[in-house]
Amino acid sequence: MKKLESKIALVTGGSRGIGEAIVRRLVAEGAKVAFTYARSAGKALALESEINASGGTALAIAADNAVATDVIKAVNHTVETFGGLDILVNNAGIYIGGEFAGHSIEDYDQIMDVNVKAIYIAALESVKHLKAGGRIITIGSNMADNSMGPQGTLYTMSKSALQGLTRGLARDLGPKGIAVTLVQPGPVDTDMNPADSQLADFLRGRMAIPQYGTGEDIAGLVSFLASEESKYITGSWITIDGGLNA
């Protein structure tokens, strides 16, 4: 029997990058996987078709994490389609950088809506359905512990908030047998952080293993945290960053 056989998962932001790798990995482990997308409809629908055509079960849902009702709809659509929810993976996230003096209140709202508020809402809606053995796994960032340099204030702030959310939720949901964890990736080669950029050389220069991670590296950890093997891990985070924070 596969590790996640008969489990039902929802992954936010599964159309590309780390989220896509997580979707593929959870499907490979036997889960039925719903995933959301905002702008990349073509990629999301192609991924859904590919998985369903090859014997897996996937459902692509258009839902913008910046819109509270979309997040709620995504959870309910998953439950209505697959008959429940066991694993929520909060992956969707955005980066807003640049000179701090050039930031605006709108920037604050945008990053906090997608990177923090949507995760709170998804958790709030999901706890109506999660049972003992359930999991809430959120993708944070190594930057929550090491901002590394200028121009990362908003992103670092948003990802640090997830540590508090993880601690608090673990306490709230532990008595129900639901585990809550945070995965903090370092540099991973995606559209958000391409391994061939100028910034990439700076980042590699600070890593113990000076190479970018892949979406599959992160998906492997998520799949472990989603599984029965990880049941004693809750309220904590695992940094997976090639030793950047070491």
- H or E, element range at 183: strand 179-185
Judged by CB under 6 A, which of 9, 37, 48, 88 binds ligand NDP?
A: 37
**CA pair distance 18, 10, nearest whole angstrom:** 14
Per-residue string for binding with ligand NDP, 219-238, x by CB under 6 A?
Answer: --------------------
Judged by CB under 6 A, which of 29, 48, 64, 125 binds ligand NDP?
A: 64
**CA pair distance 214, 216, nearest whole angstrom:** 5
**CA pair distance 71, 36, nearest whole angstrom:** 9
Binders of ligand NDP among residues 138 to 167 (CB under 6 A) are 139, 141
User: Can residue 242 be called a binding residue for ligand NDP (CB under 6 A)?
Assistant: no
Kindly report the number of other CB atoms within 10 A of residue 99's CB atom: 9
- The three-point CA angle 117-107-136 to 5° equals 25
Judged by CB under 6 A, which of 46, 192, 199, 209 binds ligand NDP?
A: 192
Q: From the candidates 37, 95, 120, 155, give the one annotated as an active-site residue.
A: 155
**Bridge partner list, 87:** 9, 135
Token pair 């889960």: residue: 31
User: Can residue 190 be called a binding residue for ligand NDP (CB under 6 A)?
Assistant: yes
Q: Which two tokens stand for residue 158?
A: 């948003």
Per the annotation, the verdict on 155 as an active-site residue is: yes
User: Can residue 188 be called a binding residue for ligand NDP (CB under 6 A)?
Assistant: yes
Minimum separation from the CB atom of position 18 to ligand NDP (A): 4
Judged by CB under 6 A, which of 7, 16, 24, 206 binds ligand NDP?
A: 16
Taking alpha carbons only, the member of 162, 8, 146, 7 closest to residue 92 is: 162
User: Can residue 239 be called a binding residue for ligand NDP (CB under 6 A)?
Assistant: no
Q: Which is nearer to ligand NDP, 85 or 207 (CB)?
A: 207
User: Can residue 171 be called a binding residue for ligand NDP (CB under 6 A)?
Assistant: no
Minimum separation from the CB atom of position 102 to ligand NDP (A): 21
Axis-axis angle for helices 17-28, 41-53 (nearest 10)? 10
Minimum separation from the CB atom of position 10 to ligand NDP (A): 12
**Bridge partner list, 237:** 182
In 38-134 the beta strands, taken as DSSP E runs, fall at: 57-62, 87-90
Q: Do residues 2 and 56 touch, judged by C-beta distance below 8 A?
A: no
Minimum separation from the CB atom of position 189 to ligand NDP (A): 7
Applying CB under 6 A, which residues contact ligand NDP? 12-19, 36-40, 64-66, 91-94, 114, 139, 141, 185, 187-188, 190-193
Positions marked active-site: 155
